[in-house]
Amino acid sequence: MIKTRHLLFVVTLFFTSGQAFQQTNKDTQTVVGADKYNAFISFVDHKALEKEIKDIKAMSLAPIALGVKDNIDIKGLPNTAGSIALQNNKPKNSAYLAKRLKSGGYYIVGKTNLSEWANFRSTHSVSGWSSLGGQTINPHGVNRNPCGSSSGSAVAVATGLARVAIGTETNGSISCPASVNGVVGIKPTLGLVSRSGIIPISHSQDTAGPMGANVKDAARLLSYMVGFDPEDPATSNIPKDMQLSFSTNLSKTSLRGKTIGLMSASSNEPEENRLIIKAKTILISAGAKVVMLTNKGDYPGEEEYFVLLYEFREGINKYLSSQTNQVKNLKELINFNIKNKDAALAYFDQDIFLLSEQTKGQKQKYLDALETTKTISTEHIDSLLNKNGLDAIVGLTRGPAWEIDYEGGDAEATQKQLSWGMGGYAAMAGYPHITIPLGFVNNLPVGLSFISTAWHDKKIIEMAYAFEQTSNL
């Protein structure tokens, strides 16, 4: 049995010359292996794509091609969660977060590959693999895992197949793939981006967020994703005076006078220490005061796990029952996978599905676990911020990409490599988290995270931008 605190609940165009996407009919189709990284599962028909680009140009906007994780409803494209059980699931409408994208010049090229069911099917899962899309390839090493669950979104940006992409996160699903593929990823405050039209895991932790090659690109995309949606009550909490344009007024001076809490090394690993020293040097060069922190907080891993199990059953049953797909609830999904086990369960089982189905009638246990996770996570971050007078908490996002292991899955593979990281508390608390590239370990990218309290998204984006610009000097 693996420790739940180490579970990856990761829960995720400009076309390069010579890049060819397979299209054989006028309708959108599922295409496996259309790009050498398996970053995409499905693509928009060329004629429809040309029309979108023409419409955007007619608005005097520069077209920006976009990949969208294949657990987000986009009208005209299958929404599959990477599962063969949903390969014919074609939503009638697009998710709320997609409604303003065109006005920003974004046109959707296709749906990106992901860890099947956002990495919430088995404790022995392999991140970046789905029964429909196959294995997403990390461009920094074909034997290295791209992390997940927003694997394809991160890889599409990292390889230049996408200018920007949209991922989703429950706990690590944006930050981890962004970090190990060397791109920027933003997990917004819970409620800033609507979850309606997204295949769910947990309504208390799920959110969509942008990914880009740099902070400005990701921040601009976020500006066109946010807003109140009556179908998602969490969006009613957006402060009325909150600035929702996240790429304006970005400045390389935004760290001047800021007090930053930098997480100390968790071990005596020299590479970890080297990167922390590098981060500290850049922060000081950018004008920040640095306070070294030690992460000694309790982590309610068992409680969080039960919250996710309980909320998944309710959420997935609601989503599936609203679709035209043949599978209408979790029980039917479990049975489908059993009947099609050679393809659906090729490398790992569905123990998380089975445990989730068994949570019926355990509401009080769920409520207690939810209170514990929210209390511990918010108090941990808030106390660090308040006690030390901090503007943000900064630390290594996680270690470098691990080797792909189809026998033991991520659980065994991650025990054999450098493992640092932060972000779990922000995920549970619903607080904002941005990760940006910091450096390399053995030629593999490692990211740096900025975290703060709720609705301080713009603040940490501005600080991350200043860090990025200073590090590029």
Residue 418's pLDDT is what?
67
Residue identified by tokens 């000097």 is: 473
Spatial distance between the Cα atoms of 92 and 76, rounded to a whole number of angstroms: 8
Bridge partners (DSSP) listed for residue 263: 293
Strand 64-69 to 106-112 pairing: parallel
Spatial distance between the Cα atoms of 237 and 95, rounded to a whole number of angstroms: 19
Residue 32's pLDDT is what?
41
3-state secondary structure of 151: helix
DSSP annotation of 234 reads: G
Cα–Cα distances in angstroms (integers) from residue 275 to residues 137, 151, 176, 268, in the given order = 25, 24, 17, 12
Residue identified by tokens 């009325």 is: 240
Pick the closest to residue 399 from 448, 461, 450 (CA basis): 448
Going 137 to 142 to 147 to 153, the CA torsion angle's sign is: negative
Burial (Cβ within 10 Å: 0-12, 13-18, ≥19) of residue 149: buried
Instruction: Name the token pair of 121.
Output: 């099917």
Residue 415's pLDDT is what?
83
Q: Which residues of 393-416 are buried (b: 16+ CB within 10 A; e: fewer)?
A: bbbbbbbbbbebbeeebbbebbee
Residue identified by tokens 């997990």 is: 187
Instruction: Name the token pair of 321.
Output: 């029952």
Residues with a known catalytic role: 69, 149, 173
Pick the closest to residue 111 from 167, 69, 76, 161 (CA basis): 69
Residue 421's pLDDT is what?
76
Spatial distance between the Cα atoms of 245 and 251, rounded to a whole number of angstroms: 14
Left (φ > 0), alpha (ψ -120 to 50) or beta: where does 389 sit? left
Spatial distance between the Cα atoms of 88 and 305, rounded to a whole number of angstroms: 30
Residue 419's pLDDT is what?
63
How do the residues of the chain divide into helix, strand and coil, expressed in percent and rounded to 5? 35, 15, 45
Cα–Cα distances in angstroms (integers) from residue 261 to residues 67, 388, 435, 451, in the given order = 34, 8, 15, 10
Q: Which residues of 419-455 are buried (b: 16+ CB within 10 A; e: fewer)?
A: bbbbbbbbbbbbbbbbbbbbbebeebbbbbbbbbbbb
Pick the closest to residue 167 from 233, 213, 113, 106 (CA basis): 113
The length of the chain, given as a count of residues: 473
Residue identified by tokens 């050498």 is: 36
Residue 31's pLDDT is what?
40
Spatial distance between the Cα atoms of 308 and 290, rounded to a whole number of angstroms: 35
Q: What angle, rounded to 10 degrees, do the helices at 457-471 and 270-285 form? A: 100
Give the CATH architecture of domain 4-471: Alpha-Beta Complex (3.90)
Question: In the chain, how many H helices and how many E strands?
Answer: 14, 14
Are the CB atoms for 38 and 135 separated by under 8 Å? yes
Instruction: Name the token pair of 54.
Output: 């023409």
Bridge partners (DSSP) listed for residue 207: 169
Alpha helix segments (H runs only) across 182-269: 215-223
Strand 207-212 to 444-451 pairing: unpaired
Instruction: Name the token pair of 320.
Output: 């599936």
Pick the closest to residue 251 from 216, 275, 281 (CA basis): 216
Which portions of the chain are predicted below pLDDT 70? Answer: 1-34, 418-419
3-state secondary structure of 358: coil
Spatial distance between the Cα atoms of 90 and 110, rounded to a whole number of angstroms: 14
